[in-house]
Amino acid sequence: MAVPLERWHVLSAEVMTAMADWRAAHPQATFSEIEAALDERLARLRAQMLEDAALSSAASDWTAQPSAARPTCPQCAVPLQARGLATRRLQTHGGQELTLTRQYGTCPRCGAGLFPPG
């Protein structure tokens, strides 16, 4: 899956427009207030970019990969067995929530479950 550059361009334009609108509505804002408003808007863009990038990774659905290329158990180093899709909600450094639905796996040797990174 390719990273959705077009969507990122649209979101970037939305951030710039929203920031221009905010600035017009707050002409007396201090530098710190401007920075906080910008950080808030960029945090949303950053979260969407993180979510899209993670979901475009081969790690999001590794079931079609040969066994040797599949994620392995960090304890046993054995390739994981697919156990279906799982959804995780994560929070970014900017406090934004994102959702990742990816293949979940378990180790056939020790039984540990893993939501592979990447």
Q: Taking the domains of the chain in order of start, what are their residue ranges?
A: 1-56, 60-118
pLDDT at 1 over 60: no
CA distance 95 to 26: 24
> How far is the first Cα of the chain from the last one, in angstroms, to the nearest whole number?
14
Tell me what the mean pLDDT of segment 47-72 comes to: 80
3-state helix, strand, coil in the chain (%, to 5): 45, 20, 35
Question: Which range, of 12-16, 21-25, 61-65, 81-85, averages the lowest pLDDT?
Answer: 61-65
Longest dimension (CA), the chain: 63
Helix axes 5-25, 31-55, angle to 10 degrees: 160
Q: Is residue 108 within 8 Å of residue 99, measured between CB atoms?
A: no
Q: What is the pLDDT of residues 31-44, one digit of tens each?
A: 999 999 999 999 99
Q: What single string gives the DSSP state of each residue in 69-97?
A: GS-B-TTT-PBPEEEEEEEEEEE-TTS-E
